[in-house]
Chain A
Amino acid sequence: MPTIFVLDVPEFEPLVAQARSQSGVTVTEGPSGYWRIASDTELVFGRKALGFKPAVWYGALTGGLVGRVAEFGRDTLRITGA
């Protein structure tokens, strides 16, 4: 199950909001200080919709990753299972 951890700080909050708006994606709290975003299939994020500048976009997975980056382009990040 592809999963990312997102530190609970304002600059990464759009990842949590975008995940919550997607069906099949779960957002849970924990460990303390992190959001855990997971999907049964794959996780997909769009940079423009997140409002991320490149410096934040290309560090979007700094919270931690369980799975594999299948695509990390200028606007699309796609994560699949290991």
Chain B
Amino acid sequence: MSTPISAPLNGVHHTARPTWKLRETIEFYRDKLGLPLVHAISARGWPDGHPDFLHFFFDSGNGSTIAFFYYIGTERPDYTKPVASHFYGATHTAWQVQDAADLDKWRQRLEQVGVPLRYETRHEIIESLYFTDPNGYPLEVTYQLRPMNQLDADDALRTMDAAMALEDARDPAVFKGIDDVWQRKGAALLKEVV
């Protein structure tokens, strides 16, 4: 394959998900979180079989939006309902704030408007608040403690190269846990110094 052309991206325009709770969703995002409702599409369903729908957008800062589809006259299928599983919670939206002071403002605001915090935690390079919208979609507000740099990128490649090699083995006995990744990565690093 010839080298693909460089195709730059410029941040998030929108991410979208379905809702079956129109008023609750608007009151949550616009009124409780304070995200302006900035655009709404209302249209006949097209092509065939597509229900009539509303598609509406909330401003989440820096040119980004979070969007919803409301499919008129439809029932929420079971497969879209939240379940208590890490697999379900893995799909989430994390909004960025500038610093710890702004994260604290979000902590205060969520309490003021009665949105319960699920938890808050400090990770390696981000500190986050976690909560849930009326649809059950997981949300996060985070600030980044330091910029990511080339060291982070090089280290990420070493970690993921080790993990992919273990996955390639297609053998559960080979890829039992994260220790296998650490050991494979450690062995590769040791070769570079001895």
A18 within 8 Å of B by Cβ?
A: no
Interface of A: prevailing SS = mixed
**B-side interface residues toward A, CB under 8 Å?**
121-125, 145-146, 151-152, 154-155, 158-159, 179, 182-183, 185-190, 192-193
Minimum Cβ distance to chain B for residue A70 (Å): 11
Q: Which residue of A lies closest to B151 (CB)?
A: A33
How far in angstroms is the closest Cβ of chain B from A58? 9
- For A63, list chain B residues within 8 Å (CB): 155, 185-186, 189
Distance to closest chain B CB from A5 (angstroms): 5
Q: Nearest 7 pairs between A and B by C-beta?
A: A64-B186, A65-B182, A64-B185, A65-B186, A31-B192, A66-B186, A61-B182
Query: Inside 8 A of A11's CB, which chain B residues have their CB?
Result: 124-125, 145
Smallest CB separation, A33 vs chain B (Å):
5
| B185 cross-chain contacts in A, Cβ below 8 A | 5, 63-65
Q: Are B189 and A34 in contact (CB under 8 A)?
A: yes
A69 to chain B: which residues have CB within 8 Å?
A: 179
Q: 10 A-B Cβ contacts within 8 A?
A: A5-B189, A11-B124, A33-B155, A36-B189, A56-B123, A61-B179, A63-B155, A64-B189, A64-B190, A68-B179
Contacts of B121 in A (CB 8 A): 53-55
